[in-house]
Amino acid sequence: MAEAEKAAYIFPGQGAQYVGMGKDLYDAFDSAKTVFNQADEAVGFSLSKLCFEGPEDELKQTVNAQPAIVTLSLALLAAMRDTCAENNLPAPSLVAGHSLGEYTALAAAGVLDFPTAIFLTRKRGELMHQAGQQNPGGMAAVIGLEESMLAELCSQTGAKIANINCPGQLVISGGKECVAAASSAAEEKGASRVVQLQVSGAFHTDFMQPAVEGLAEVIDTITFNDSFIPIVANTSAAEITAAEDIKDELLRQLCHSVQWQRSMEYMINSGITGFMEIGPGRVLGGLMRRINRDVKTKNIGDAEAINNLKQ
């Protein structure tokens, strides 16, 4: 990524986790090791061991996957900042995170310190899991259908669009019968594929309202700073920097759609010419290719990627 480019950092959400993630980073960079050790202390158990060794069934549980992904993303960020020269690591003009990844963005922008961001995502995961048990539901990815058509099908079936990721990739959420009905209707209307997601609830719908109430109580105990880098919010695809607006966004996000495509379009229209996807997996880079092929996305997901940045 050239120095002259206007850069943004973006951070992945739940589903990007995998067993073994972060072990190379932990071994290679003291700054990353510090983040993992802080995470273990923040959540009260060896989250680092769960990341490095699994088992997979435990790692992918909402209560564990959420702090694990944020921990690795922040460990990567810490190692980048600690080891890369300024010309290899352009300062971000904007940051954003996909759903859970918004918490990583907050830490990157100085709203929360790293341990607090990890603690808060652990609480978020617990509350979302509990809300899913209280209000059972499900989610499905719908591939190859226009947003307007899917919105019409959701209005007919009682499902809701939870994620607008990129052209042709949307996620629906709601009661299991509603999601099943909307999934069948989407296939009948020409969706190329519908994939039921392995999640513990109907995220980004009113089914998460109990989590909103619980998270509000936790947030009230935490000091939030104003952001020193503008954050492009999931629910509005607009910039926020004030601490109170950020708190509102975290609560609103639980029950409202993630406007990822519009967020990326906003950033591009604001002059961003290069994105750094910091965290496990390459999902966001794949979405970006569907949103705008002319924009470069560099993935930073392991120690090798950071060593390549240094050169």
Per-residue pLDDT tens digits for 48-84: 999 999 999 999 999 999 999 999 999 999 999 999 8
Please check whether residue 161 is in contact with residue 150, taking contact to mean a CB–CB distance below 8 angstroms. yes
pLDDT, tens only, 234-277: 999 999 999 999 999 999 999 999 999 999 999 999 999 999 99
What is the C-alpha separation between 302 and 59, in angstroms, rounded? 18
Residue 99 known to be catalytic = yes
Task: With a cut of 80, say whether residue 178 has pLDDT above it.
Answer: yes
Q: Residue 302: which residues within 8 A CB-CB, separation 6 or more?
A: 24, 25, 76
pLDDT digits (tens, 9 = 90+) for 131-143: 999 999 999 999 9
Residue 1 banded pLDDT, cuts 50, 70, 90: very low
The pLDDT of residue 21: 98
What's the pLDDT score for residue 84?
86
Is pLDDT at 2 greater than 70 in this prediction? Answer: no
Say if residue 88's pLDDT is above 90.
no
- Rounded to an integer, what is the distance from CA 270 to the centroid of its chain? 21
Q: Is 102 helix (H, G, I), strand (E, B) or coil?
A: helix
**Which two three-digit tokens encode residue 95?**
């940051």
Cross-strand bridge partners of residue 240:
231
Q: Return the SS3 of 278.
A: strand
For residue 253, give every residue at least 6 positions away whose Cβ sits within 8 Å of its Cβ, in sequence order, or none.
99, 102, 204, 233, 234, 235
From the list 204, 256, 257, 263, the catalytic residue is 204
Q: What is the mean pLDDT of residues 176-190?
A: 97
- Model pTM score: 0.96
Q: Is the pLDDT of residue 3 over 60?
A: no
Catalytic residue among 48, 73, 98, 99: 99
204 is catalytic: yes
- pLDDT reported for residue 268: 98
pLDDT tens digits, 10-41: 999 999 999 999 999 999 999 999 999 999 99
